[in-house]
Amino acid sequence: MHCWREMPRGRHSWWKRIFSSIRAGAVGAGGTLAAPVAGGPDPGQPVPLGRAGVDLAGSRASKELPRLLAAAEQLLASGDRDTSDAHDPLFRLLRGLIATLWSLFHFFTGQAQASLESARSALARIPPGEEHMVSHANYYFALSNQATGHEEVALAAVQQGLQDHSTRLSSTARLLFAQAYVYLAMAKRPHVEHTARHLLHIAREGELVISQNYAHWLLGLVHYEQNRLEEATYHFSAVIANQHQAHFWVVRDALCGLALTYQAQGLGYSGTKDGSHLARTGAGAARSTRTDGSLCFLWALGTVTE
């Protein structure tokens, strides 16, 4: 972030207190909920959508994050006059970060309108030149617009963000994932496939391993729905083969998708070279979560092994 390079030395401890209060325990360094993210220089990718909010509602992060954000806001309010100057880029940046995290929290707890308002506030507060932070705010602005029924607004926001942030690959990857998800919700499968292939290309170019697995997951899902089962198998298998460099939710959904793909092909585990590995990995995933995703896997496991 550009602003941090210009920070006066005497104010480091004050800003450190605020960031520590936000990030301690509940929020990762990229501004996302603290979930296991293994390997690869791909910070800040949020958990995949859909069922994630159900689990967040009962998680430690959902209880800690509002308290931490409120504490950070109090620290901002208690700062000296110079520090709390609304025209200070550091002040604006931190206000923008807090608003972005509120947007994240509201989105994953099913409060789409509140998420939209927080994301809009973040975009208004983040100072120019902070591409990484703007891409995060744009991400939730797009997703919350989609969730409130404004798909075209969501797509326009992502497209504008891609035009404004064309130099940083991680920001581009984040916005491409948002674009693909909006298309997925609109059932525009050819658009999802095109965007996911672009995301995969960008992620490989930038060595963004987590984003690569998001792209494989998207492509596997689209190909499964198009009955292109061999291609779906390839992409779901790519996620599972790199499961220690993918987000847990993507691995779980890829396991479910691969099992369903095998079932659609009429293959039992004995007919697949990686069937026993799939069973072991999927059983572990099912034990570690109580979401409908694990139920999906267990159902597929039963149909494949019959």
Q: What is the pLDDT of residues 155-204, one digit of tens each?
A: 999 999 998 766 689 999 999 999 999 999 999 999 999 999 999 999 99
> Quick one: CA torsion of 237, 59, 140, 134, rounded to 10 degrees?
-100
Both 150 and 232 in one domain: the answer is no
Per-residue pLDDT for 29 more than 50?
no
Write down the pLDDT at residue 184: 93
Both 208 and 170 in one domain: the answer is no
Are 118 and 97 in contact by the 8 Å Cβ rule? The answer is: no
Both 138 and 252 in one domain: the answer is no
User: How many CB atoms are located within 10 Å of the residue 59 CB?
Assistant: 18
Least confident piece of the model among 18-22, 109-113, 207-211: 18-22
Sign of the CA dihedral 62, 101, 163, 199?
negative
pLDDT band at 19 (very low <50, low <70, confident <90, very high): low
Both 162 and 201 in one domain: the answer is no
> Quick one: CA torsion of 214, 236, 34, 14, rounded to 10 degrees?
-20
Q: Is 33 helix (H, G, I), strand (E, B) or coil?
A: strand
Q: Cα(96)–Cα(127) distance, rounded to whole angstroms?
A: 8
pLDDT band at 9 (very low <50, low <70, confident <90, very high): very low
Both 283 and 245 in one domain: the answer is yes
Give the structural domain span for 151: 1-178
The residues, ordered by sequence, that sit 6+ positions from 94 with a Cβ below 8 Å of its Cβ are 15, 18, 72, 76
The rounded Cα 103 to chain-centroid distance in angstroms is 13
Q: Cα(163)–Cα(159) distance, rounded to whole angstroms?
A: 6
Write down the pLDDT at residue 210: 92
Write down the pLDDT at residue 248: 80
Q: Cα(58)–Cα(64) distance, rounded to whole angstroms?
A: 11
pLDDT band at 28 (very low <50, low <70, confident <90, very high): very low
Q: Cα(139)–Cα(104) distance, rounded to whole angstroms?
A: 9
Q: At 70, which amino acid appears?
A: A
Q: Cα(159)–Cα(145) distance, rounded to whole angstroms?
A: 14
Domain boundary among 158, 178, 198: 178
Write down the pLDDT at residue 288: 46
Total structural domains within the chain:
2
Both 152 and 10 in one domain: the answer is yes
Both 17 and 63 in one domain: the answer is yes
Q: How much of the chain exceeds pLDDT 90, in percent?
A: 44
pLDDT band at 90 (very low <50, low <70, confident <90, very high): confident
Domain boundary among 136, 161, 178: 178
pLDDT band at 103 (very low <50, low <70, confident <90, very high): very high
CATH of the domain at 207: 1.25.40
pLDDT, one tens digit per residue, over 220-279 is: 999 999 999 999 999 999 999 988 888 788 888 999 999 899 888 887 554 455 555 555
Write down the pLDDT at residue 289: 44
Least confident piece of the model among 69-83, 100-114, 147-161, 226-240: 69-83
Per-residue pLDDT for 306 more than 50?
no
Per-residue pLDDT for 304 more than 90?
no
